[in-house]
Amino acid sequence: MIVFPAIDLRQGRCVRLRQGDPTAVTVFSADPVAMARHWVAQGAEWLHVVNLDGALGEVRALAPLPDGEPDLSGLPRNWQCLYAIRQAVEVPIQFGGGLRSLDDIALALRLGATRVILGTVAVQQPELVTAAVERFGPERIVVGIDAREGRVAIHGWRELSSLTVIDLALRLAAMGVRRVVFTDIARDGMLTGVNVAATAALARLSGLRVIASGGVAGPEDILALRAEEAAGIEGVILGQALYTGALALPTALALARGL
């Protein structure tokens, strides 16, 4: 099972939100590159980087970059951070937040993302997901399913759609998606324990590989998720627990590997 340390970017800083609330923000570092190096030095084999400004709707159309060394001067700060993190570490990067077009996806991959996470567009523009899988391949496209009381949330978790988690997951599987990140919003940033039952049920019912997110509080959550690995749980994203010291990354990695 893969452990993904989270680096959530807000105006170029590494932050954590509580239940996705932009007013409940804690800044952990003004240097996301240093944070990336820190987690890799502790053994991280993947990084989970989120452009919160984009996820919260603070987006603008981004032009494709010409060939050659990219000129980052016209890009938003968080996109520049993605490129800087890519240059600083060699582990693969999962990147999401506010991706709204095939050009956005191509740009994220060009700047160093190994794969991208699509969120709101999967609900509002499902044809974009299909096109993305066809153009970039299923291993480079992940969809984030963010849920509140069983329904899918969109626009930075501020609106609830009419779709249930399972309905969306089955639609995604039919589109050729292989992997999703599942977040129980009520638990995110709260250190109250990950929703293992819902995560495992999603994996079993959809046949998708599922990365758990939201609420991890300590070693017991890693053990509980690993016990359901056969259901299709592929990994877990760690945020608040790492940043507050509730769970050390080397400990999480060892437990995830069954050591």
Separation between Cα atoms, residue 21 and residue 243, nearest integer Å:
17
226-253 pLDDT, tens digit each:
999 999 999 999 998 999 999 999 999 9
In sign, the C-alpha dihedral spanning 206, 166, 218, 85 is positive
Q: Percent of the chain, pLDDT > 90? A: 68
Q: How confident is the model at residue 28 (pLDDT cuts 50, 70, 90)?
A: confident
Is residue 8 annotated as part of the catalytic site, yes or no? yes
133-178 pLDDT, tens digit each:
999 999 999 999 988 877 898 776 677 778 899 999 999 999 999 9
pLDDT at 156: 64
Is residue 146 annotated as part of the catalytic site, yes or no? yes
Exposed/middle/buried for 41, CB within 10 Å: 0-12, 13-18, 19+?
Answer: exposed
Q: How confident is the model at residue 54 (pLDDT cuts 50, 70, 90)?
A: confident
Give the mean model confidence (pLDDT) for residues 7-19.
84
CA separation (Å) from 83 to 140, 157, 229?
Answer: 17, 26, 32
Q: Percent of the chain, pLDDT > 70? A: 89
Separation between Cα atoms, residue 67 and residue 1, nearest integer Å:
36
pLDDT at 245: 93
pLDDT at 185: 83
62-116 pLDDT, tens digit each:
656 656 666 777 788 999 999 999 999 999 999 999 899 999 999 999 999 999 9
What pTM was estimated for this model as a whole?
Answer: 0.90
Q: Which 3-state string (H, E, C) describes the chain?
A: CEEEEEEEEECCEEEEEECCEEEEEEEEECCHHHHHHHHHHCCCCCEEEEEHHHHCCCCCCCCCCCCCCCCCCCCCHHHHHHHHHHHHCCCCEEEECCCCCHHHHHHHHHCCCCEEEECHHHHHCHHHHHHHHHHHCHHHEEEEEEEECCEEEECCCCEEEEEEHHHHHHHHHHHCCCEEEEEEHHHCCCCCCCCHHHHHHHHHHHCCEEEEECCCCCHHHHHHHHHCHHHCEEEEEECHHHHHCCCCHHHHHHHHCCC
| Angle, alpha carbons 95-96-102 (nearest 5°) | 100
* Beta carbons within 10 angstroms of residue 250's beta carbon: 12
Q: Which of 67, 71, 104, 146 does the annotation list as catalytic?
A: 146
pLDDT at 15: 85
Full set of structural domains in the chain with CATH: 2-256 (3.20.20.70)
